[in-house]
């Protein structure tokens, strides 16, 4: 009988955890088609999440858990869970049920049909604000456009089924600064998309605010593509061309109007403001250009330091997975 490992990161989810465990047991405990393993990763929670995980592991022989020494972030929690998972099929998902666990059986059917990756995709984002919908769509178009390939699938989250082989290839990648959604798209393999309507969060609040989403967007770009390294070249060519044309135009005007003088009048005031504005704009563009290589250098620094992506303080393996 094949084993299905479900990997779930938790961070300060004491309100959501009992709901999650109850639902998971209802869905999987009576399924005789597969053996199920829950791999729960406590990402340095400061509430009672770890206590609840320990209690659930004592009561259920299919729960494996990992607890970090501090908060290392969702990417680290996913990586630890994927490495610990022993299943033939491995499914990372959030605990808030915005990734509907009812889809798992449909995903398994597609896997049995020969697909190595099965990705649920949101049909629409009605639950999000206009700003979030607009920025999300613009971001996906931007990163996939500048890369010349699909770096990240639009409206597809971490929630997906992967075979053990796919997960091993992803985990064998040497990066320290990991980005699961980009890596999962990069490896390819036969993939099936399942569309669904995403429900509201069952309890608690999302841990992703706009600041974290903005930071994640920049990490996604710098971890997924080197296209922005060429942006300064393109901007430099464009501005050099404009500057050259402006210089030639000024020389022609001075030559044609030999009596051209700088006098104190409204026209020259406007010209002065134009020059000042141009300088400010140029400084802004230069600052932006300097920032882009710095972001890549930051990733390079993280990867060359070779620090562990996470530190495990406590780990417990489910008795069922030891058989």
Q: Are residues 47 and 109 in the same domain?
A: yes
Which residues span the domain enclosing 270? Answer: 228-305
CATH number reported for the structural domain that contains residue 98 in this entry: 3.90.550.10
Q: Is residue 218 part of a domain?
A: no
Residues 6+ positions from 41 with CB-CB distance below 8 Å: 7, 8, 9, 10, 65, 66, 67, 68, 77, 78, 80, 81
Q: State pTM to two decimals.
A: 0.64
Strand partners, 120: 194
Element (H, E) at 91: strand 89-92
Q: Are residues 152 and 286 in the same domain?
A: no
pLDDT in tens, the chain (323 residues): 888 899 999 998 888 888 888 888 887 767 778 888 999 999 889 989 999 999 988 888 888 999 999 888 888 888 899 989 988 999 998 888 777 888 888 889 888 888 888 888 877 655 566 666 666 666 666 666 655 556 666 667 778 898 999 889 888 877 666 677 777 777 778 888 888 776 565 555 555 555 665 665 666 666 656 666 666 656 656 665 665 565 566 556 555 555 445 444 545 544 554 566 566 667 666 766 766 676 666 666 656 656 677 888 888 887 765 55
Q: Are residues 316 and 293 in the same domain?
A: no
Q: Are residues 27 and 173 in the same domain?
A: yes
Handedness of CA 259, 260, 265, 266 (dihedral sign): positive
**How many structural domains comprise the chain?**
2
């Amino acid at each position: 009988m094949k084993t299905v490992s479900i990997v779930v990161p938790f961070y300060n989810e004491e309100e959501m955890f009992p709901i999650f465990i109850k639902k998971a047991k209802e869905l999987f405990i009576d399924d005789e088609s597969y053996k199920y393993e829950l791999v729960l990763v406590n990402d340095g929670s400061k509430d009672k999440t770890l206590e609840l995980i320990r209690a659930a592991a004592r009561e259920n022989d299919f729960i494996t858990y990992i607890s970090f020494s501090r908060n290392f972030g969702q990417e680290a929690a996913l990586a630890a869970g994927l490495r610990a998972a022993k299943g033939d099929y491995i499914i990372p998902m959030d605990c808030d049920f915005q990734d509907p666990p009812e889809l798992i059986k449909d995903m398994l059917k597609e896997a049995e049909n020969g697909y190595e990756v099965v990705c649920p995709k949101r049909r629409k984002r009605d639950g999000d604000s206009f700003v979030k919908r607009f920025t999300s769509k613009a971001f996906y178009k931007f990163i996939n456009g500048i890369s010349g390939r699909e770096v990240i699938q639009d409206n597809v989250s971490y929630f997906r089924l992967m075979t053990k082989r796919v997960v091993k290839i992803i985990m064998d990648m040497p990066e320290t600064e990991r980005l699961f959604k980009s890596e999962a798209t990069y490896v390819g393999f036969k993939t099936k998309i399942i569309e669904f309507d995403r429900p509201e969060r069952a309890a608690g609040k999302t841990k992703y605010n706009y600041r974290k989403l903005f930071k994640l967007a920049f990490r996604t770009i710098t971890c997924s593509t080197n296209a922005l390294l060429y942006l300064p070249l393109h901007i430099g060519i464009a501005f050099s061309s404009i500057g050259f044309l402006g210089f030639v135009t000024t020389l022609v005007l001075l030559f044609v109007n030999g009596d051209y003088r700088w006098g104190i009048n409204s026209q020259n005031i406007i010209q002065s403001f134009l020059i000042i504005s141009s300088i400010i704009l140029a400084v802004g563009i230069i600052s932006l250009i300097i920032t882009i290589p710095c972001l890549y250098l930051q990733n390079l620094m993280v990867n060359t330091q070779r620090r562990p992506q996470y530190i495990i303080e406590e780990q417990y393996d489910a008795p069922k997975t030891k058989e």
